[in-house]
Amino acid sequence: MQKYFLTTPIYYVNDKPHIGHAYTTILADTISRYRKLVGDTSFFLTGLDEHGLKVQQAAEKNSKSPQDHCDGMTPAFLNLWKELNIDYDDFIRTTEQRHIEVVQHILSEVNNSGDIYIDEYEGWYSVSEERFITEKEVDSGQFGDVKKLKEKNYFFKMSKYQEELINKIQNDELKIQPESRKNEVLSFLKNNLSDLCISRPKSRLEWGIELPFDKDYVTYVWFDALINYISSIGFSKDSDKFKECWPADVHLIGKDILTTHAVYWPTMLMSIGLPLPKRIFAHGWWLTDSKKMSKSLGNVVSPLALIDDFGVDAVRYYLMSDMVLGMDATFSSQSFEKKYNSDLANDFGNLVSRISKLIENNFDSKIPNFSSNESDLSENYEHIKLSNNLEELKIDKIINDIMNFIRSINIYMEKNEPWKLVKVDKEKAGNVLYHCAESLRLAAILLSPIMPKKTEKILENLGCSDKSLKWGKLLPNSSLKTSEPIFPRIN
Ligand code: MSP
């Protein structure tokens, strides 16, 4: 059976992960959980990018061998994913043998097919980007430390696939989203595409995968890293597993790594003769004080500190609801607290307490009976557009729909006043409260991919283990448990 295969970028191990890295991983986790909720099987891959100059330099700085440095950094990522409740299906490190073998296999194949040649090249080299850059890029001044370099290297015939790539992007065979990023790639492809330098002489950089056809060179880190998306799922080794997953349904990336994913990667796949991923989605950046959050600017927010202060589900909720997918978003503790108090403490948390209290006090903590299946709420529930928004990866919209539904439960309570009704018509009051409790159950299930822990608690308190998204699965007469406020206010 075909799986919904989704990936995050693999993160460089030159530094500890921050909110920007956590964001993509939570996004992938959320999408994967939503896929499972609607009945799909999904396969969610993440991992680490361990080769290249940046990692070699970080290791030198710590007086460690690169491998020791990578082994030492890995727990920081694994621990954060555990704290963030990330339920990935595979975690790949590019120093693993299973990856190295596939990279070397592909290099040999591409070389045998005539798509690799050796050439002496003189040009501008960007140290931070670890690649040769064009005159135009030098002039842009965006590439920091730049030097002239003359070197013999191996080149991949990327230019050969330019026309085919343009066609596939134009007709959405490879869908690049949002539309603005698709246009960005197409306008980049209006210029003649150069071939890609895919080697680094060991005399300059040792930390990489050795070229199978020249032991004096290692593989360019991007040519190595991108292959993780297929080495992890058994390309050239386990054809059943590979067929279940490839082509990927979506590569989730940040907007700064668009060209590598939308140009290098597809042309590599064309050369190997593999289908292209169905979709690449480039999200925006998390900014602090209008600048991209990054270690070098010293403005990073630590996800672990936030989890300590507010709990993991609140962090997941904030990151998923506050970024309109595709756009940049600004992180600030004020906006975090505001969102937490208004959405989670007020709208959702208070409602849970209010409904539980009313059932506890008037119905002996038993879910009341309903006399009708219809209400404003069962109707409102139908307005939540989960499938369409999930297909478009609009997680912020999904949350918005659910929160509107939750607000409509509050409105329904105000309109029907079950606390007064119970004194004159207990059956009617019971019906109202049943509809409220059933709506809470559905809201909790719908929010479970975002906040797995808190929603589990709510469902447990409702005494309901049925995770069905069908209206009316909450059983009358089942026992309700009350607990401390689910989302205590932050002052
Ligand atoms: N190793 C490469 C990716 C190789 S994928 C085959 C890489 N690593 S990275 O650690 O530098 O960045 C990983 C991801 O984190 C990128 O998608 C990048 O956009 C994202 N982010 C880094 N800082 C970010 C923010 N401030 N906000 C949101 N995401 C950002 O690039």
Domain ranges of the chain: 332-491
**Mean pLDDT of the chain, nearest integer:** 94
- C-alpha distances (whole Å) from 453 to each of 87, 310, 323 are 13, 13, 22
- Would you tell me how many other CB atoms lie within 10 Å of the CB of residue 151? 17
Q: Is the pLDDT of residue 127 over 80?
A: no
Ligand 1 midpoint to CA 334 (Å): 25
In one letter, which amino acid is 405? Answer: F
Ligand 1 midpoint to CA 197 (Å): 22
pLDDT tens-digit readout, 179-213: 999 999 999 999 999 999 999 999 999 999 999 99
For residue 367, the SS3 value is: coil
pLDDT tens-digit readout, 83-113: 999 999 999 999 999 999 999 999 999 999 9
Q: Is 11 near ligand 1, meaning CB less than 6 Å away? A: yes
pLDDT tens-digit readout, 388-402: 999 999 999 999 999
Q: Where are the beta strands (DSSP E) in 50-162?
A: 90-93, 116-126, 131-133, 146-156
Q: Which of the listed residues 128, 129, 256 should we mutate to test ligand 1's pocket, taking the one with most ligand atoms within 8 A of CB?
A: 256
- Would you tell me how many other CB atoms lie within 10 Å of the CB of residue 181? 19
Ligand 1 midpoint to CA 285 (Å): 9
Q: Is 253 near ligand 1, meaning CB less than 6 Å away? A: yes
Q: Is 52 near ligand 1, meaning CB less than 6 Å away? A: no
**High-pLDDT (> 70) share of the chain, %:** 100
Ligand 1 midpoint to CA 381 (Å): 37
Give bridge partners of residue 4 from the DSSP assignment: 42
Q: Which of the listed residues 13, 16, 24 should we mutate to test ligand 1's pocket, taking the one with most ligand atoms within 8 A of CB?
A: 24
CB 486 within 8 A of CB 464: no
Q: Is 50 near ligand 1, meaning CB less than 6 Å away? A: no
Ligand 1 midpoint to CA 52 (Å): 15
Give the pLDDT band of residue 141 (cuts 50, 70, 90).
confident
Ligand 1 midpoint to CA 10 (Å): 8
Region of residue 344 (phi > 0: left; psi between -120 and 50: alpha; otherwise: beta):
alpha
Q: How far apart are CA 449 and CA 29, in angstroms?
A: 8
CATH number at 332-491: 1.10.730.10
Q: Helix 452-461 crosses helix 312-322 at what angle (to 10 degrees)?
A: 120
Q: Is the pLDDT of residue 261 over 80?
A: yes
